[in-house]
Structure 1
């Protein structure tokens, strides 16, 4: 062996000390890194949990939005069909077919039962067909549903006047 590759007893302790110091330095570096990384990991875990919670909340809100969309889509379809029945009722009314108009308004009210305007149209058609008590009931419900609708009160007054005429 070459003399430079053989470790002598004299060099052994300093070499060993160097290795031990190097290992100690690496250990200190590892602990320091762990402390720094550890101090950064906790906020990362907290952030991850907040994001997971937000995803859960957003998922729930998305489900609610989908249910609302389905409900509104159905309401829109019902409103379109109800509008068709209202149009038919108005045409029948203008043809003086008041009872047929009432039936058409009833079909619209099956789709949109609390529509004060359709109730008013029905009530006035009932009044024209001389079904005064039924007219007054429909018109009364109309103004209860929309107390700001002036025509509802006007037609209700007509029904009350007609009830005196036909009494």
Structure 2
């Protein structure tokens, strides 16, 4: 029997070692690649999670703002309902001749809706009918401060000013002119208003 060829064994062992080394390197590279992919995926998930947190925070703020706006709207509706109920009661009291009650109820309506020039005008007229002229003038000026374009408000202001006497007639005349400038058709309404003709005869347009 021939002796084994040492060179062949060495070649075989070398090839096997190289193959094993190559396989080990390939396995290592696969593991490293998997780790890099996993790390990259994790970072991407963390970034997406951070974006979602920001969106969630914004949504929570928007929901909170929406709740506040809803509560504010409900409060406004409640105030308007209170103002309407008080105004209706005041009008009924006025037509029943209960002028003091009317003034008080108009005051309740104004507390609920302080920027309403029409309710202030109605209260001012009730004060005028009670003979509380200075208070009526003050209330009417507040009505016009709430809406400087409220033409009929100037008619009533002129009415109240005329009732105080001659010293206020120039101011009454200016109020009449302002009313006509805003709404020319009020000229005929003033002429057809018996109370206005009686109180402000000299100031009729």
Comparing 71-80 and 29-38, the one that deviates more: 29-38
**TM-fit CA distance, 1:36:** 5.0
Task: Output the CA distance in 2 between the equivalents of 1:76 and 1:99.
Answer: 27
Comparing 50-59 and 100-109, the one that deviates more: 50-59
**TM-fit CA distance, 1:89:** 0.8
Question: RMSD between aligned alpha carbons?
Answer: 2.8
**TM-fit CA distance, 1:128:** 1.8
> What residue number does 2:64 align with?
63
Q: Which residues in structure 2 correspond to 1:9-158 (within 5 Å)? A: 11-35=12-36, 38-39=39-40, 41-158=42-159
Task: Output the CA distance in 2 between the equivalents of 1:156 and 1:38.
Answer: 81
Task: Output the CA distance in 1 between the equivalents of 2:81 and 2:13.
Answer: 97
Task: Output the CA distance in 2 between the equivalents of 1:155 and 1:27.
Answer: 97
Of structures 1 and 2, the one scoring higher in RCO (CA 8 A, sep 6+) is 1
Secondary structure at the aligned position of 1:163 is classed as coil
| TM-score in terms of structure 2 length | 0.66
Task: Output the CA distance in 2 between the equivalents of 1:109 and 1:54.
Answer: 44
Is the alpha carbon distance of 1:33 and 1:155 closer, same or farther for their aligned partners in structure 2, counting shifts above 3 Å?
farther
Comparing 15-24 and 51-60, the one that deviates more: 15-24
1:95-134 superposed Cα distances (whole Å, 9 cap, x missing partner): 2322211111111122222322211111111112221111
Kindly name which structure, 1 or 2, has the bigger radius of gyration based on alpha carbons.
2
Structure 2: gaps of 5 or more residues: 1-8, 169-205
Is the alpha carbon distance of 1:107 and 1:20 closer, same or farther for their aligned partners in structure 2, counting shifts above 3 Å?
same
Question: Number of matched residues?
Answer: 160
1:68-108 superposed Cα distances (whole Å, 9 cap, x missing partner): 21122122112112111100111122223222111111111
Structure 1: gaps of 5 or more residues: 1-7
**TM-fit CA distance, 1:23:** 2.7
Which 4+ stretches in 1 moved above 6 angstroms? none
Task: Output the CA distance in 2 between the equivalents of 1:107 and 1:24.
Answer: 90
**TM-fit CA distance, 1:44:** 4.2
